[in-house]
Structure formats: C-alpha cells, structure tokens
C-alpha cells in the first residue's frame, strides 16, 4: 500500500495539485488553510481525496474564529491572511475544519 502523508498545505492548491496520483491513501496532518491564496480549493481537494485528516492550529483558528496559536515569528502574517481565508471559505468549509479530529 502506498500512503502519501502531507501537512502544512496552508492554502497552496498549486503545490497540492502536483502530488503524484499513484497512491492508495492520502493522509493530511493539519493546516490546510491560511497564508495561501486558494484555501477553498485545498479544503475541497482534501475532503474528496484524503483518507485521514487531522485539524491543525490554523484550521482550528479559521474554523472556530478563535485567536491563532502560533509562534510570534509567524503571528503577524497569519493574522493578516486569516481575514482573507475567512472571507473565501464557505460556512460548510469552516464546519468541515471544525469537525476535524485533533
């Protein structure tokens, strides 16, 4: 069985779309959203193709509308892009993020 394990996609659908297609399962270890320009496309891709997904701190922040828990080094950029991500994602996308297991 060939398993592809990824994490920290952060809304970068262009990178995600270049995964090899010859795998049996896709596992995603969190942080689907924030920073990148295509969070909705990433959520849709993961929803339709991943066998296992866990919620990252950025997914939690956007899904629940809570303050981001990240290192000070990245906090300013994360907060700046969170409003964009929040505006792009549908309520259904945010519900999906909220329901991901920790």
Q: The domain spanning residue 78 has which CATH number?
A: 3.60.21.10
Provide the percentage of residues in the chain whose pLDDT is more than 70.
100
- Can you tell me the mean pLDDT for 68-80? 86
Length of the chain counted residue by residue = 102
Asked whether residue 68 carries a pLDDT value surpassing 90, the answer given is: no
Count of structural domains, the chain: 1
Which residues, in sequence order, are CB contacts of 92 under 8 Å at separation 6+? none
For residue 23, the number of C-alpha atoms closer than 13 Å in the C-beta half-sphere is 15
Strand partners, 53: 28
Q: What is the DSSP letter of 53?
A: E
- Domain enclosing residue 17, as ranges: 3-99
Q: Is the pLDDT of residue 8 over 90?
A: yes
Evaluate if residue 55 carries a pLDDT over 90.
yes
Q: With beta carbons less than 8 A apart as the criterion, state whether 58 and 31 touch.
A: yes
């Amino acid at each position: 069985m060939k398993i592809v394990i990824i994490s920290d996609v952060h809304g970068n659908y262009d990178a995600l779309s270049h995964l090899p297609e010859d795998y049996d399962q896709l596992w995603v270890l969190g942080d689907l959203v924030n920073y990148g320009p295509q969070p909705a496309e990433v959520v849709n891709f993961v929803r339709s193709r991943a066998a296992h997904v866990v919620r990252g701190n950025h997914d939690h922040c956007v899904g629940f509308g809570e303050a981001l828990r990240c290192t000070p080094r990245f906090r300013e950029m994360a907060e700046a892009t969170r409003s964009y991500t929040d505006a792009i994602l549908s309520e259904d996308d945010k519900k999906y993020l909220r329901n991901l297991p920790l």
